[in-house]
Chain A
Amino acid sequence: MPPTIDRRGAALRGPSAVDVALEVNGERVVVHVPPRRTLLDALREQLGLTGTKKVCDEGTCGACTVLVDGRPVYSCLTLAIACENRRVETIEGLAKDGELHPVQRAFVDTDAFQCGFCTPGQVMSIVALLRTVPQPTEDDVKRAVAGNLCRCGAYPNIVAAGVSAGRRKRT
């Protein structure tokens, strides 16, 4: 286990692969990564968490959205090493004890996707929104997922899902 170091220190590690400790969906894991490896690739290729999708790989589509310390980030633009000792939440960590998260439930009920490829990113963006705005308006939801492309055009239902997930949480 590498010693806990601050983020300025992290920049001095490498250039060869290093062990990086992360908290992923509540579990502490260590990944052996070259410093330039993105969080997205570390999740998908090393931890087998393929729910987070690689679509544009350059920060324009939002399909790779995960939460780091509760904030939504594009994991394709985030280096794994920059997440050392930070809390990473992915789509796989949302359902608890076989129960869908209210946002996941709302996506199912409102038919908020077709092919589903953008869905993990959309869901994570809305989960982050609900933590700060528990009962979002349509506009709140639109702004929260303005960086998440959906080519199937399920947008109207994504808005509905976000709003209804907020109501659902309250009850």
Chain B
Amino acid sequence: MTLAPPRPGARVKVRGVIGEPAPREDAVPKVKGEFQYASDLWREGMLHGATLRSPYPFARIRKVDVSAAAKLPGVRAVLTQDDVPGKKTYGLMDRDDQPVLADGYVRFVGEPVAVVAADTIEQARAATKAIVLEYEVLEPTFDPIAAIQPSAAKLHPKGNVLERVRILHGDPAAKADVVVEGEYEFAMQDQAALGPEAGLAIPREDGGVTLHVATQWLHEDLDQLAPCLGLPESKVRIVLSGVGGAFGAREDTSIQIHACLLALKTRRAVRMTYGREESFFGHVHRHPARLFYAHGATKKGELVFVRATIVLDGGAYASSSSAVVANAGSFAAGPYRVPNAVVDCVGARTNNPPTGAMRGFGAVQSCFAYEAQMDKLAKACGLDAVEIRMRNGLVEGDAIITSQPLVGSAPIAEIVRRCASLPLPETAAHRDQSELPGGHANVTRGEGVVRGVGYAVGFKNVCYSNGFDDFATARVRLFADAEGPLARVHTAAAEVGQGINTVQLQIARTELGIERVELETADTNVGSAGSSSASRQTWMTGHAVLQACREVRQELVRRAEREGLTLDRTDLADLLDRPIEKTVTYRHQDTEKRRPDGQSRGHVAFMFAAHRAVVDVDVETGLVKVVQVATAQDVGKAINPLGVIGQIEGGIAQGVGLAVMEELIVEKGRIRNASFTDYLIPTILDMPPVIADVIEHPHPDGPYGAKGVGEAPTISSTAAVVAAIRAATNRDLERVPVRPDDIVFGTSSRSGWRIAPGDDPRRAVRG
């Protein structure tokens, strides 16, 4: 080996390392329209898949006849449950829960009953309509509290209680000078990713199948998919296609199993893409909830107890309800010092559409209620919203209601103070009609417009909890080509828009000290990265890439030493006559499983954010304009400051949407607004200016001190907006989203169930 002479000080500054605002790795293809999303996939001669879905919320299937459909022109396959060659059920957390295709019963409107592959999408859709089905309609259950009563009809062989978490902390009978109570309702939000569920399944020569799909977790899909196809995992490869947003909705499978079944049956490539309406029926939503709360405090406003009963509507199938319930329970008291707590949190099975993961995952529902309670308490104690939060905020070393002490910074008082000190917007002059709440739709002159300011704080776990074996694998290969050293990073981390690809590149550049780093396509040819959820990818895949790079570097050091060289003074290419490849699987520290009293060190780490919302409310028309949202968030370390700001603003956009406009309206189990005409998400005119104070208190266990970022902005921004509307209107507003009627008429949203906060909701009384 010939060695170039050492070049003292030759190391040039590497661009695109951690801490630098880095443009997205996929930016150029995305702006050119060249980036291939799952719904853009195309292959010569491919077939098109379509799904027949249940029109009923609960029914027995008496008869299925596909013979007429199968004879239609262009139709290549019509499959029902009988045609599933392997395991007949799947499920994100319970593999025995949800039928691949209806198993003799349908349990929600939109449940897949049969799938068709045909030469054109029109032919496939026509064939679904030609399938003859006879249903015996059964009595459905839509009220989640009714569904979990002992007398309720069983909707599924596994029963109607999807999960129950009871947390007992301190003295359950603690008494307090000041007590405030409330019942809250949280409606169904949709992730509403713009990219539809889509994928392309291609049969392989060896009898296996390759699936290109938009997903959040390739290996989880594989683990569910292969048994249903009756194939070993080695014969199924899943490749990440371009993902047009996820926000939790792609954690469950949608087209995955169906497209592969059709491809294997027809021996042809099959593409499935949901249309917009079908997308609303074909993915899980955020859990609606009923929350019954009591907070007790001293006269000075120091919390003495929190009691809460929370019922989440899981819909017809389990999805990730068990983990959502665990989160809603464990964060039920908020980021506050609470010596005594009783929390009873249940996930109910109903005949409503299934619910599962969405950004914030259980923490959003609780936050809406506990932050409303904190404001009530502040009022009762004569404190303001900032003071009560600073007085009760957790500090490092404090324990949450599961007795888990907080490691790393827990700067509640600091984020509240810093958020409160951010500049407020000017009072609106309403010179222009477009500045009024409702914009040009507002026909008043602004006589009824009142400004309000509200605060909220939230927290949530980063990474997976409760004893789950959470890991991420990274493979880093360093070699030299004609242009010098080049590193290739291969992980299965799903880039869904959050920016994990850029983070991986930044970490590799930082660790290896070279600028030329490329990413391999994420697929199942490398170990799992876990899901792009729970704000965990920067922590998990970030750690895995970091460690793999460090092992590569150690090998470089060894090679340099063997040659009698110092690494820092050597051209790396000279040490790379053979490539170096290292594969590392990172596991975070063990977490404990939940004990029967709900106590455990169940989480790895926490993220915190505070929000202040300023709103103008037209109290005559009930229209709301969110004027500004200010936030302070502890991110540990901003690996890509540009990406952090994007996550903060984007999370706030979704939080604002939930506060004032986003609701899937479900009547008798049927989604009534399955379109972007009727399910409203914020437009650019609804988006308030955001002022963000990004705080970097490094976490001892995060990569470079980083915590997760993506979920914290959605958790308390909704609660802050609603608090601001309450301040403007003096209405209680115990329901979210806040509707014009709620503002103008103060409409009650009580459930009609009597449940003492903290009591078991499975013993509820009507009236």
Which A residues are closer than 8 A to B by beta carbons?
Answer: 44, 48-58, 60-61, 63, 90-92, 94-95, 100, 104, 107-109, 111, 113-120, 123, 142, 145-159
Contacts and interface: CB of A to CB of B under 8 A. Distances in A.
B684 A159 contact: yes
Contacts of A90: 33
23 contacts: A49-B33, A50-B36, A50-B42, A53-B39, A55-B676, A91-B32, A104-B32, A108-B24, A108-B27, A111-B646, A114-B245, A114-B499, A116-B35, A117-B193, A117-B195, A117-B244, A119-B31, A120-B33, A123-B31, A146-B684, A150-B684, A151-B194, A152-B497
Interface majority SS (helix, strand, loop, mixed), chain B: loop
A103 to B, nearest CB: 8
Interface string B648-664: 01111110000000000
B677 A56 contact: yes
Contacts of A109: 23
A56 B646 contact: no
Given A54-B39, A56-B675, A154-B650, A117 B683 contact: no
Contacts of A49: 33
A145 B683 CA distance: 9
Which of B34, B498, B650, B682 has the most chain A CB atoms inside 10 A of its CB? B650
Contact of A58 (B24, B675, B681): B675
Contacts of A104: 31-32
Given A48-B42, A115-B496, A60 B675 contact: yes
A43 to B, nearest CB: 11
Given A60-B676, A111-B23, A155 B496 contact: no
Which of A48, A57, A90, A116 has the most chain B CB atoms inside 10 A of its CB? A116
A24 B34 CA distance: 16
Given A146-B685, A152-B497, A108 B23 contact: yes
A153 B33 contact: no
A156 B689 contact: yes
Contacts of A156: 649, 687, 689-690
Given A149-B683, A153-B682, A117 B649 contact: no
B196 A55 contact: yes
Interface of B: 21, 23-24, 26-28, 30-37, 39-40, 42, 191-196, 242-247, 275-276, 496-499, 642-643, 645-646, 649-654, 675-677, 681-685, 687, 689-690
A114 B497 contact: yes
A50 B40 contact: yes
B683 A146 contact: yes
Contacts of B276: 55-58
Nearest to A62: B683
Given A63-B194, A114-B650, A153-B654, A51 B676 contact: no
A159 B31 CA distance: 15
B653 A117 contact: no
Given A152-B650, A155-B682, 10 more contacts: A58-B675, A61-B194, A100-B28, A108-B24, A111-B646, A149-B676, A151-B194, A153-B650, A154-B650, A156-B690
A153 B245 contact: no
A111 B192 CA distance: 21
B217 to A, nearest CB: 16
B28 A108 contact: yes
Contact of B684 (A44, A61, A94, A148): A148
Nearest to B653: A153
Given A119-B30, A142-B685, A149-B683, A60 B677 contact: yes
Nearest to A55: B194
Contacts of A155: 649, 653, 682, 684, 687
B194 A118 contact: yes
B150 to A, nearest CB: 41
B641 to A, nearest CB: 10
Contacts of A147: 683
A116 B31 CA distance: 7
Contacts of A113: 24, 30-31, 497
A95 B32 contact: yes
B651 A100 contact: no
B701 to A, nearest CB: 27
Given A50-B40, A146-B684, A151 B31 contact: no
A52 to B, nearest CB: 7
A152 B195 CA distance: 11
Contact of B194 (A50, A111, A117, A123): A117
B762 to A, nearest CB: 37
A107 B27 CA distance: 8
* Top 6 A-B pairs, shortest CB-CB distance: A51-B33, A153-B653, A115-B497, A117-B244, A153-B650, A116-B30
Contacts of B642: 111
Contacts of A145: 684
B430 to A, nearest CB: 15
Contacts of B496: 115
B343 to A, nearest CB: 31
B35 to A, nearest CB: 6
Contacts of A107: 27, 31
A127 to B, nearest CB: 11
A57 to B, nearest CB: 6
A44 B654 CA distance: 30
Given A55-B194, A117-B195, A151 B681 contact: yes
A96 to B, nearest CB: 11
A52 B37 CA distance: 11
Nearest to B499: A114
A66 to B, nearest CB: 10
A119 to B, nearest CB: 6
Which of A92, A114, A148 has the most chain B CB atoms inside 10 A of its CB? A114
Contacts of A53: 37, 39, 194-195, 244
A116 B32 contact: no
B649 A153 contact: yes
Nearest to A104: B31
Which of A52, A57, A155 has the most chain B CB atoms inside 10 A of its CB? A155
A54 B687 CA distance: 23
Contacts of A154: 646, 649-650
Nearest to B685: A146
Contact of B192 (A52, A54, A57, A151): A151
A137 B39 CA distance: 35
Nearest to B652: A153
A159 B675 CA distance: 26
Given A94-B32, A116-B35, A151 B193 contact: yes
A2 B408 CA distance: 72
Contacts of A44: 40
Given A114-B646, A153-B682, A61 B34 contact: no
Contact of A115 (B32, B244, B676, B682): B244
Nearest to B678: A60
A142 B686 CA distance: 10
Contacts of A118: 194
A113 B650 CA distance: 10
A50 B33 CA distance: 7
Nearest to B21: A111
Contacts of B247: 151
A91 B33 contact: yes
A79 B642 CA distance: 40
Nearest to A147: B683
Contacts of B243: 115
Nearest to A118: B194
Contact of A100 (B26, B31, B646, B649): B31
A153 B23 CA distance: 17
B684 to A, nearest CB: 5
A158 to B, nearest CB: 7
A27 to B, nearest CB: 16
Contacts of B36: 50
B33 A117 contact: no
A58 B35 contact: no
Contacts of A120: 33
Contacts of A95: 32
Contacts of A63: 194
